[in-house]
Amino acid sequence: MTKRALAIVLVIATSFVSFGCNKSTTDTLLPDQKTLLISFDGFRYDYLNKVDTPHFDSLVAGGVQSEGLIPVFPSKTFPNHYSIATGLYPENTGFIGNTMYDPKWDEWYRIRDREAVENGKWYGGEPIWNTLEKQGVRTGTMFWVGSEADIQDMYPTYWKPYDADMRLRARIDTVIKWMTMPAGKDVDFATLYYSYVDTKGHRYGIQSDSLKNAIRLSDELVGYLKMRMKEKGIWGKTNILIVSDHGMVNQAADKIISLDKIIKMNDVERVLWGPMTMIQPAEEKSEKVYQALKAAENNYKVYKKEELPERYHLKNHRRVEDIVMVADLGYTILDEDYKQQFLNSLPRATHGYDNKNKEMQALFLARGPAFKTGSTVAAFQNIHIYELINHLMGTTPAQNDGAIDSVRVLLN
């Protein structure tokens, strides 16, 4: 019996209880199905309407698309990619931002700090590649948040450290090589990741020709992927999920909140900047800082950590600072000393805002033997994708916040 078949038998024979989710079922699965998860970072839910996208359109016609993919809050890259991988909210993964401070360890995590990025201690929960590997399913990750780290002292069977300069088609070629190696070495689950749509959106804005060209390039890559998979005979037996982590909204020079005009900066120990700004007041200054922010509350909302809305699923982790500001859509919180520098190099668009805003929703579409064809479904939360992949692979999920019933509408 192959490892793949053994994993399916074990799943059928094993009961599973988790919080907020149901056991994946295997009644529609075929033993030789593969799954490919692809992320186009910063690809907003409505970007396919901006230009002609014949290859995306072909996938939609032969598969299923949602009206949006709802990110976790904050609507940032690392928290969302890792929540997709684990099915957990940020307060359960510990990923509460692209940059974060851990008071227990007195250490910082920054996305450009390779030592931190590759250190598994920062990553809570169990990512999908670990779940599958534990059950005998080989995996390969061509860039995904967490896949470079020794989470649970494990790695995927094949993985690559992130290299922004790796050629776009070469990423596809490498993944297809992994998926079509001789039996016993090939992978049944793989990931792909591209960042350039996000980069062009930030730099030039969501109405720019540069962004439209990035969307066209994404479409060309989808066409290339289809061609290569057909050449290798795996197109018809692969379930392909194309996702993004968040949407995007334009910024403006007149939508600035100067934090140091509201509070005295020597009353705070730390500020983690962004559309969601976290503030750690100096000792015994917490109430003073909060009351000043509350009195000036305009174009933002301010919360004490313990009063954060439950729907954020954020407050129950030590890495969240004592006071949290959430800017209104399109507004930027910054220090007055940095204002001119910010204006001189004004990013044209950004994200990180309240995930209830439609503008923060991302792309989701899927096609393959497990999925409906020619269907459109309502937007759903990205935490359910972990459960969905386990269903497709016939494996038992680890504890997570998602539910297969929330995405069963996608399936045949």
The catalytic site residues sit at 77
State the Cα–Cα distance between residues 256 and 131, nearest whole angstrom: 43
> What b/e string do you get for 294-308 counting C-beta neighbours within 10 Å, with b at 16 or more?
eeeeeebebbebeeb
How do strand 238-243 and strand 34-40 relate by DSSP bridges? parallel
Longest dimension (CA), the chain: 68
CA distances from 115 to 118, 119, 121, 130 (A): 5, 6, 11, 21
Distance CA 225, CA 237 (A): 14
Tokens representing 54 are: 């014949």
Please say whether the beta carbons of 195 and 244 come within 8 A: no
The CA-based dihedral angle spanning residues 145, 148, 151, 153, taken in that order and rounded to the nearest 10 degrees: 170
Residue 343 Cα to chain centre, angstroms: 29
Query: Is the separation of the CB atoms in 142 and 192 below 8 Å?
Result: yes
Q: What are the start-end ranges of the E strands in 67-159? A: 69-70, 99-102, 107-110, 139-142, 158-159
Task: Decide: 76 and 98 in contact? Cβ < 8 Å.
Answer: yes
Backbone phi, psi, residue 386, to 5°: -60, -45
CA dist., res. 397 & res. 389, Å (int): 9
The residue among 178, 153, 179, 200 whose CA lies nearest residue 47 is 200
d(CA 91, CA 316): 5
Host H or E run for residue 336: helix 336-344
Sorted by sequence, the CB contacts under 8 Å of residue 256 that are 6+ apart come out as 331, 332, 334, 339, 342
Q: Is the peptide bond before 74 cis (omega within 30 degrees of 0)?
A: yes
Q: What does the alpha-carbon distance between residue 132 and residue 393 come to, in Å, rounded to a whole number? A: 8
